[in-house]
Amino acid sequence: MGQKILVTGGAGYIGATAVRLLLKHGHEVTALDNLSQGHREAVPDRARLVLTDLSNREALGTLFRESKFDAVMHFAASALVGESMQLPEKYFRNNVTNSLNLLECCAANKVSRFVFSSTAATFGDPQTSLIDENSPKNPLNPYGESKLQVEAMLHWFQKIHGVRYAVLRFFNVAGAWDGHGEHHDPESHLIPIVLKVAQGKRESVSVFGSDYPTPDGTCVRDYVHIYDLAVAHLLVLDALKERDALAYNLGNGNGFSVREVIEASRKVTGRPIPTVESPRRPGDPPVLVASSAKISKELGWKPRYDKLEEIIQTAWDWHQKYPNGYEGKKE
């Protein structure tokens, strides 16, 4: 039987994917978004779109009282590491204070399940190349710190108000699924930037540092396909019927270097994709890869898209079909 689910950031890249998957599983979905980063066209017609901001406590309270949600999936956040180092106040206000507004509504309206889209940036610069759930948390930027503070709030809201929660931490999300792809402005993620070069919309892609202690000298990162990430969110939503608190890392377990991503993109697109060697960026660890062993063992999560070229192919297909992204695209 379908449930009433609120998805915050439901017009964004990850949130709109979760909306699609929830609808396919027969749930009644409300997507909440202020469209500061999301796209109205990304929300399927069968979902209800509410245009408001989590800072609007009055509108939020009214929405919760009238809708009687069974659960909340919380994706809405500011998520640019570099910007967070310039505007920490924006990140603590949007990611922490607004999450508190949302949690207060859950507690007041007896919404007992809360799935939080966190980040592996909570771990900072890890001491091991494969990060599991027990790795020490030491954020290096206000973005990671803001997400960690929400995790702390969830712990206490569960203890005191009975709000069951799941935390999912991941690094890089990529790919496209069900007619939905990645469209950010400005774009800061490697795969869409590389594909913009392939499209002829950028002249080259910068490789920041080629002297790292990795097999080819460039940084190694984790990539999870957008569909597989959404599946994990639905799995923990279901698991919260029995469990009070869950926390999982999501990753491919291998990691791919910047050069490997560029080379795979050349194969997929058949385009040359010129690169420019650039200096290292401050704070970039050589290797960041998350271990998904725990969620695989406990909930049976297994990525459908586990090959880099396969992930890039889905993104390239979407960018080819919608060269301008959501500008002018209609569902």
Residues 6+ apart with CB under 8 A from 40: 11, 49
Omega cis (within 30) before 186:
yes
> Parallel, antiparallel, or unpaired for β 71-74 and 4-8?
parallel
Q: Which two tokens stand for residue 324?
A: 């301008």
Q: What angle do CA 88, 91, 95 make, to 5 degrees?
A: 155
Q: Which residue type is seen at 89?
A: E
The answer to whether the beta carbons of residues 208 and 279 sit under 8 Å apart is: yes
d(Cα 174, Cα 133) in Å, to the nearest integer? 22
Residue pair 111/105 in contact (Cβ under 8 Å)? The answer is yes
Query: Which residue in the list 13, 91, 143, 322 is annotated as catalytic?
Result: 143
Active site residue 143: yes
- Residue 144 C-beta-side C-alpha neighbours within 13 Å: 19
Q: Which residues are catalytic?
A: 143
